[in-house]
Amino acid sequence: MKTYRYYDLILGAYVCVLLCANLIGPAKVSTVHVPLIGPVTFLAGVLFFPISYLFGDILTEVYGYARDRRVVWSGFAALVFAAIMAAVVVHLPPADFWLGHQAAVEEIFGNTPRIICASIIAFWCGSFVNSYVLAKMKIWTGGRWLWSRIIGSTLCGELVDSGLFMSIAFAGIWPTDKLVAATLTQYLLKSGWEVIATPLTYRVVAFLKRAEREDYYDRDTNFTPFSLKA
């Protein structure tokens, strides 16, 4: 297997962003008043989670679908471990002098199993859709129009991610109109970040292609998500 200078660093940064977005982000719901639109309510993690899709685009564009697949599975394993660790920490009996802090710990880290499952499932499905669409579009476009596959793959991946997360986590709990509005807001915010970050993605992709001497095309790739083969 060919070795790369920056692949491992990107993998570590990807997992770090993913964990922070899923552990810290859901701790707060924010409302921002946008001119001409009005109040927009969203989970704070929405501002940072799309960075993981930037990593996914960069990994697939430079290193190929199979190597991005390994990174997605690393992120998936990290999320599962974090969920288990959070559950254990929350349910451990607190020391006598810690009783006053237990409620805060439960509030921040005591997500329900339904929300945890929604987050992990949505991430897994959305990430693979994003990577698959980008890899296929790269072949269809012959490597041209990078902006089209960066944005196009994100629109597909974020649609799956937002739709799955909001429906699994809140269907039957929130009124349908509120659920649809919140899902649409999540989707537009996440996708909008990708569009704004496109120039940065161009620069990073160009740098990595030069540094790694790699510009992978997934012409003979097995696109099953259930593999760790690179």
pLDDT in tens, 83-122: 999 899 999 999 999 989 999 888 878 777 888 898 899 9
**pLDDT score of 159 more than 90:** yes
Predicted local confidence at residue 66, as pLDDT: 96
Question: Which region holds residue 66: left if phi is over 0, alpha if psi is between -120 and 50, else beta?
Answer: alpha
The model scores a pTM over 0.85: yes
CA distance 99 to 13: 35
pLDDT, tens digit, 9 for 90 and up, residues 16-42:
999 888 877 766 778 888 787 788 777
Predicted local confidence at residue 110, as pLDDT: 78
**pLDDT score of 143 more than 70:** yes
pLDDT, tens digit, 9 for 90 and up, residues 177-227:
988 988 898 898 888 888 899 999 999 999 999 999 999 999 999 999 999
Predicted local confidence at residue 145, as pLDDT: 95
**pLDDT score of 48 more than 90:** no
CA distance 216 to 61: 7
**pLDDT score of 68 more than 90:** yes
Mean pLDDT, rounded, for 155-170: 93
Record: fold of 7-212: Arp2/3 complex 21 kDa subunit ARPC3 (1.10.1760)
Tell me if 218 sits within 8 A of 139, measured CB to CB: yes
